Amino acid sequence: MKNTKIDNTLNQVSYSKTLFSKVFIFIIYRIPNMINSLISYMGGKFKMRKELQEVFQILSQKNTYTTFIDGFFGMGGSLKALSDALLKHGVKKIIVNDINPCIINMHKCIRNNRDEMVNYFLETIRKDVVIPHGKLHISVEDFIEFKKILVQRFYTLQDKREYGVETSTLFIMLSAFNFSGVVTFKKDGIINFSNAIYDHKDINDLLFNTIKRIDTFSELYNKFDMEFYNTDYFQLHHRFKGLKNTLWNIDTV
């Protein structure tokens, strides 16, 4: 579908939340693409899936695992890379931990609040992009202004330590504009985004892939029993060190 057709169609249905959602989802799922990472960033391990799968294959020949613990969960790349192998082996329980509260709550929301996240995203696009501008494909200048609004909303929530559906969805949306140095995760757990847009193609990633990212990972997480922890790794280790049939993934910073 051409951009002008998408713009006109979405503008016409933007008066109705339900209709807008249906049309938007119909449009994005007509574009086929694989989602491999929730947020692509430098430390992600999905790119090492071949090596991780080889190691798992060797280890699982001599051991029977029922639990997988990821002490430094990050964007979940290691789990994504190993998910098929873990399921095939019969691992049902997944315990994940990250010292950063925003990161761990984002994964928790993806698993448990998929619909609320998708709704929040769609309402943001409808109310802050399509209604005021009459189209989806706005200019880069307007997108910079839109990004500033999202960054500000994210900071307001982060300042209040509110790590729920809104913060988690904004985190994924803003990370579409991510490359080295743009998003910074500080030691105290504070996440910073720049206001700038560095590559206009990232706009399409935000618009067309956010829901797909949430859907792909929500589906994956719901194949397992998952527990989420937001502690320092050593505390997690202390808590679960005696657990039998457990494979630990320790991918430190």
Ligand X SMILES: C[S@@+](CC[C@H](N)C(=O)[O-])C[C@H]1O[C@@H](n2cnc3c(N)ncnc32)[C@H](O)[C@@H]1O
The site for ligand X (CB under 6 A) is made up of 43-45, 71-72, 74-78, 97-100, 103, 185, 232-233, 251, 253
Closest residue to ligand X in the complex (CB): 77
| Residue nearer to ligand X on the CB measure, 140 or 253 | 253
Could you tell me how many residues make up the chain? 253
Q: Are 96 and 76 in contact (CB under 8 A)?
A: yes
CA-based nearest residue to 85, from 253, 224, 241: 224
38 burial (CB, 10 Å; 0-12 / 13-18 / 19+) is buried
Q: How far is the CB of 79 from ligand X (least distance, A)?
A: 8
Tell me the one-letter amino acid at 152. Answer: Q
> Quick one: how far is CA 95 from the chain centroid?
17
Q: How far is the CB of 215 from ligand X (least distance, A)?
A: 18
Q: What is the DSSP string of 84-119?
A: HHHHHHT--EEEEE-S-HHHHHHHHHHHH-HHHHHH
| Residue nearer to ligand X on the CB measure, 17 or 237 | 237
| Residue nearer to ligand X on the CB measure, 77 or 163 | 77
Distance between CA atoms of residues 175 and 202, nearest Å = 9
| Residue nearer to ligand X on the CB measure, 98 or 166 | 98
Six-digit token string for 57? 């294959």
| Residue nearer to ligand X on the CB measure, 71 or 206 | 71
Q: How far is the CB of 44 from ligand X (least distance, A)?
A: 4
Q: How far is the CB of 125 from ligand X (least distance, A)?
A: 26
Six-digit token string for 206? 């935000």
| Residue nearer to ligand X on the CB measure, 43 or 134 | 43
Strand order in the sheet with 93-97: 225-229, 93-97, 67-70, 246-249
Q: How far is the CB of 178 from ligand X (least distance, A)?
A: 13
Distance between CA atoms of residues 73 and 94, nearest Å = 11
Tell me the one-letter amino acid at 145. Answer: E
